[in-house]
């Protein structure tokens, strides 16, 4: 008999993820979309601000595969350029929220007592701030920029993450294996990083895959307020909200950006589910 395969959780997780077809197709579609987004300036058929007012809003054709908008701009090009903004906002803002939220929640939950109380009251206070006014204030003070966009979204999204993580940590903390690691002599930081965080990964991953789409949509709202992307630059969010206005006359202006976003989100969800299963040894089905 041979010693069974696998060395660490990460390697096992990769092996299990590979066996999950849904997750892998999600991953490949995401990779494809990201590559397109990166290469857009070189492969886009038109320039994103090139207008053709004579053409106006035209249905998909050979020249314009996904049609043009009311100003005669090529929609495929605009979706491609939009993906750069949306994906960046989605991933960067989510990672900001993820990092702060997980650390904050894990520390509060693990240390407990007064520290926990103070840390969570700060979260509550921030929750209570009206988001819209907060953004408007930021815009007035600092003007609009992409950096500010990340900051604003990150500042809001980590709160929920911190709460979710804290709740999970409180639950995991009571289990005997945490006491066992105290009795081995591990420091609090070692216990958090080695034993607690890996055991709360499931909800973290699921919530992250939910955060990315909500961040992408949040961006379109912020752009509408004048923070973030300004026309003629585009993002998926702004294309969709533009498309909604002309939905009855020119449905393709809503359908295609919507479809792109939907495909991305589906892929993200499949990948997220796959990751959650892959990181949980108990879901193994060998």
DSSP state letter for 60: S
Work out which of 144, 210, 258, 280 binds another protein, going by CB under 8 A: 280
Q: Which stretch binds another protein (CB under 8 A): 22-30, 37-45, 70-78, 183-191?
A: 183-191
56 binds another protein (CB under 8 A): no
Residue closer to another protein (CB basis): 20 or 68: 20
248 binds another protein (CB under 8 A): no
Strand partners, 74: 68
Q: Which stretch binds another protein (CB under 8 A): 94-102, 161-169, 176-184, 225-233?
A: 176-184
112 binds another protein (CB under 8 A): no
Residue for token pair 């990166």 = 38
Residue closer to another protein (CB basis): 54 or 285: 285
Closest distance of CB 172 from another protein, Å? 10
- At residue 247's C-alpha, the angle toward residues 242 and 250, to 5°, is 95
Whether the Cβ atoms of residue 270 and residue 17 lie closer than 8 Å to each other? no
Q: How many of the chain's residues bind another protein (CB under 8 A)?
A: 34
133 binds another protein (CB under 8 A): no
> Residue 168: which of 210, 117, 99, 108 has the closest Cα?
108
Closest distance of CB 213 from another protein, Å? 28
282 binds another protein (CB under 8 A): yes
Coil, helix or strand at residue 74: strand
Residues 6+ apart with CB under 8 A from 220: 235, 236, 237, 238, 240, 241
Terminal Cα distance for the chain, rounded: 17
Work out which of 8, 62, 128, 140 binds another protein, going by CB under 8 A: 8
Work out which of 128, 176, 248, 249 binds another protein, going by CB under 8 A: 176
115 binds another protein (CB under 8 A): no
Q: Which stretch binds another protein (CB under 8 A): 28-36, 92-100, 162-170, 187-195?
A: 187-195
* Range list of β-strands (E), the chain: none
Q: Which whole-number Å values give the CA distances from 243 to 79, 218, 240, in the listed order? A: 12, 16, 5
Work out which of 157, 195, 215, 253 binds another protein, going by CB under 8 A: 195
CB atoms within 10 A of CB 231: 11
Closest distance of CB 184 from another protein, Å? 4
128 binds another protein (CB under 8 A): no
Strand partners, 68: 74
Closest distance of CB 201 from another protein, Å? 8
CB atoms within 10 A of CB 131: 16
Whether the Cβ atoms of residue 259 and residue 236 lie closer than 8 Å to each other? no
Q: Dihedrals φ, ψ of 90, to 5°?
A: -55, -55
- Binding stretches for another protein (CB under 8 A): 1-9, 117, 121, 175-177, 179-187, 190, 194-195, 198-199, 279-282, 284-285
């Amino acid at each position: 008999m041979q010693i069974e395969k696998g060395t660490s959780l990460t390697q096992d997780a990769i092996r299990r993820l590979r066996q999950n077809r849904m997750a892998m197709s999600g991953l490949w579609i995401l990779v494809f979309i990201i590559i397109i987004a990166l290469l857009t300036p070189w492969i886009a058929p038109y320039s994103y601000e090139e207008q053709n007012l004579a053409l106006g809003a035209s249905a998909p054709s050979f020249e314009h595969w996904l049609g043009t908008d009311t100003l005669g701009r090529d929609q495929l090009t605009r979706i491609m350029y939009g993906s750069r903004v949306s994906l960046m906002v989605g991933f960067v803002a989510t990672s900001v929220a993820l990092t702060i939220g997980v650390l904050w929640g894990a520390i509060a939950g693990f240390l407990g007592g007064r520290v926990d109380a103070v840390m969570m009251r700060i979260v509550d206070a921030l929750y209570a701030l009206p988001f819209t006014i907060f953004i408007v204030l930021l815009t007035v003070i600092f003007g609009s920029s992409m950096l500010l966009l990340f900051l604003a979204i990150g500042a809001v999204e980590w709160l929920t993450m911190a709460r979710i993580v804290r709740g999970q940590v409180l639950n995991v903390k009571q289990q005997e294996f945490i006491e066992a690691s105290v009795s081995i002599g591990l420091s609090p930081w070692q216990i958090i990083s080695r034993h607690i965080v890996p055991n709360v990964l499931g909800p973290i991953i699921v919530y992250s895959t939910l955060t990315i789409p909500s961040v992408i949509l949040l961006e379109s709202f912020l752009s509408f307020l004048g923070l973030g992307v300004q026309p003629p630059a585009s993002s998926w969010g702004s294309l969709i909200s533009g498309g909604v206005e002309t939905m009855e006359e020119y449905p393709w202006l809503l359908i295609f950006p919507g479809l792109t976003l939907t495909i991305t989100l589906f892929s993200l969800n499949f990948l997220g589910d796959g990751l959650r299963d892959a990181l949980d040894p108990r879901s193994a089905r060998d």
